[in-house]
Amino acid sequence: MLSCQFPRDTPAVRRLSELGWIEGQNFIFDCVSAAGRSSDQIKKLAHELVARHPDVILTSPNSYVRVLKQETLTIPIVMLMTPDPVGTGLVTNLARPEGNVTGVAWFGYDLISKRIELLKQIVPSFSRLAFIGLADQKNSQIVAEYLSAAARSFGFEWRHFRPVVATDYDAIFAHLATEQFDGAYIQADTLSVQAESRMRIVQLTLRYMLPTIGEDAQLARDGLLLSYAQDSLPACCAPRNTSINCCGVPSQETFPSNRRPAFSYRSISRPLKCSVSLCHLRSSLVPTR
């Protein structure tokens, strides 16, 4: 199994400490990565994890929750930042999820259209969009519905690309450049949120000068053109005494007056903001077509 590192100085870990749960003393946190695995390997991993008889399982995204739910009906499964758990069939309702699955619901697929609208404002003439993500069969159906609705509203064609490992992004972006796609949309999944994948994605968008928006705010911090999402970092991974703007870039007031972006920071609600990468603002790398 691939192990992974979980940030220790987080609100969740501190709260456990306040409740008397100290890692290494009276509980063990076992972090396992499923990134880059095939669907069959993920099913095998879920079986192995359940066989360990943990007291509780924390997991994300939806596809992993679904596989684990098929393996056990008794071990509590806590969803982390899972979009639309009712619509994807993970729970019956939010107030009383029933069964052994509970957790935190995330802003869901309804933001797909909003992100594309923002990308359309930057590249008004785009007509071909690449959706890049690991959505499983169930989630792919939902994603397709929202993408198709956005395509009808904004007038574009789209195609779904599914990378399995980080190096797959190289071939995908090379293909997008050859086929003259006008923009790309990066889904937040277990592959794209990894540091290696994020930096690879950012470098490829710069190399091919492809306007790209992401679901993960960290992508904008790393240099992606744009992200629009609720930021998980302050809630889950922010070190103590760290002040972080919700989507990962400073507010407009903190930009030097001669470098303030020509974008308004519009939000649906307080935790949601539009992030524009300083790298792209300085370099003016968005091509006009």
pLDDT on residue 178: 96
288 lies in a domain?
no
Looking at the fold, whether 210 and 117 belong to one and the same domain comes out as yes
> Across the strands, what pairs with 32?
3
Task: Please give the mean pLDDT across all residues of the chain.
Answer: 75
Pairing of strands 2-3, 77-83: unpaired
Report the sign of the C-alpha dihedral through residues 200, 202, 206, 212, in that order.
positive
CATH number at residue 70: 3.40.50.2300
- Give 106-163 pLDDT, tens digit per residue: 766 778 999 999 999 989 988 999 999 976 656 778 888 899 999 999 999 999 999 9
Looking at the fold, whether 20 and 130 belong to one and the same domain comes out as no
What average pLDDT does this structure show over 173-185? Answer: 96
Distance of CA 68 to the CA centre of its chain: 20
The DSSP H or E segment spanning 198 is: helix 195-208
Give the DSSP letter of residue 213: E
289 lies in a domain?
no
Looking at the fold, whether 210 and 163 belong to one and the same domain comes out as yes
In this model, does residue 265 exceed pLDDT 60?
Answer: no
In this model, does residue 189 exceed pLDDT 60?
Answer: yes
Going by pLDDT thresholds of 50, 70 and 90, the confidence category of residue 90 is confident
What single-letter amino acid sits at 63? S
CA distances from 79 to 76, 83, 97, 134 (A): 10, 10, 11, 18
Looking at the fold, whether 96 and 216 belong to one and the same domain comes out as no
What average pLDDT does this structure show over 85-109? Answer: 81
226 lies in a domain?
yes
Residue after which a domain boundary falls, among 51, 73, 106: 106
Higher pLDDT, 120 or 98: 120
- Give 34-84 pLDDT, tens digit per residue: 766 777 888 898 999 999 998 899 887 778 888 899 999 999 998 877 777
Percentage of the chain exceeding pLDDT 90:
30
Residue after which a domain boundary falls, among 42, 77, 106: 106
From the list 22, 32, 154, 135, the residue with the least C-alpha distance to 84 is: 135
Looking at the fold, whether 100 and 118 belong to one and the same domain comes out as no
Looking at the fold, whether 79 and 173 belong to one and the same domain comes out as no
Going by pLDDT thresholds of 50, 70 and 90, the confidence category of residue 211 is very high
Looking at the fold, whether 256 and 117 belong to one and the same domain comes out as yes
Q: Are 134 and 189 in contact (CB under 8 A)?
A: yes
For residue 239, the SS3 value is: coil
Looking at the fold, whether 32 and 52 belong to one and the same domain comes out as yes
Give the DSSP letter of residue 257: G
pLDDT on residue 5: 60
Looking at the fold, whether 34 and 155 belong to one and the same domain comes out as no
88 lies in a domain?
yes
pLDDT on residue 136: 63
Q: Are 224 and 283 in contact (CB under 8 A)?
A: no
pLDDT on residue 118: 92
Structural domain containing residue 201: 111-283
User: What residues contact 128, with CB distance under 8 A and at least 6 apart?
Assistant: 156, 157, 158, 159, 179, 180, 181, 182, 183
Looking at the fold, whether 225 and 248 belong to one and the same domain comes out as yes
208 lies in a domain?
yes
What single-letter amino acid sits at 39? S
Looking at the fold, whether 217 and 266 belong to one and the same domain comes out as yes
pLDDT on residue 1: 43
> Number of C-alpha atoms within 13 angstroms, CB side, residue 1?
16
Looking at the fold, whether 36 and 158 belong to one and the same domain comes out as no
What gap in Å lies between CA 279 and CA 249, rounded to an integer? Answer: 11
Going by pLDDT thresholds of 50, 70 and 90, the confidence category of residue 30 is confident
10 lies in a domain?
yes
Residue after which a domain boundary falls, among 57, 80, 106: 106
What's the whole-model pTM score?
A: 0.62
List helix spans (H) across 123-167.
137-154
* Token reading at 45: 């991993």
pLDDT on residue 4: 60
CA distances from 13 to 20, 33, 199, 239 (A): 11, 19, 28, 11
- Give 249-258 pLDDT, tens digit per residue: 333 333 333 3
For residue 80, the SS3 value is: strand
For the chain, the domain total comes to 2
Taking phi over 0 as left and psi of -120 to 50 as alpha, with beta for the rest, 20 belongs to left
Higher pLDDT, 102 or 109: 102
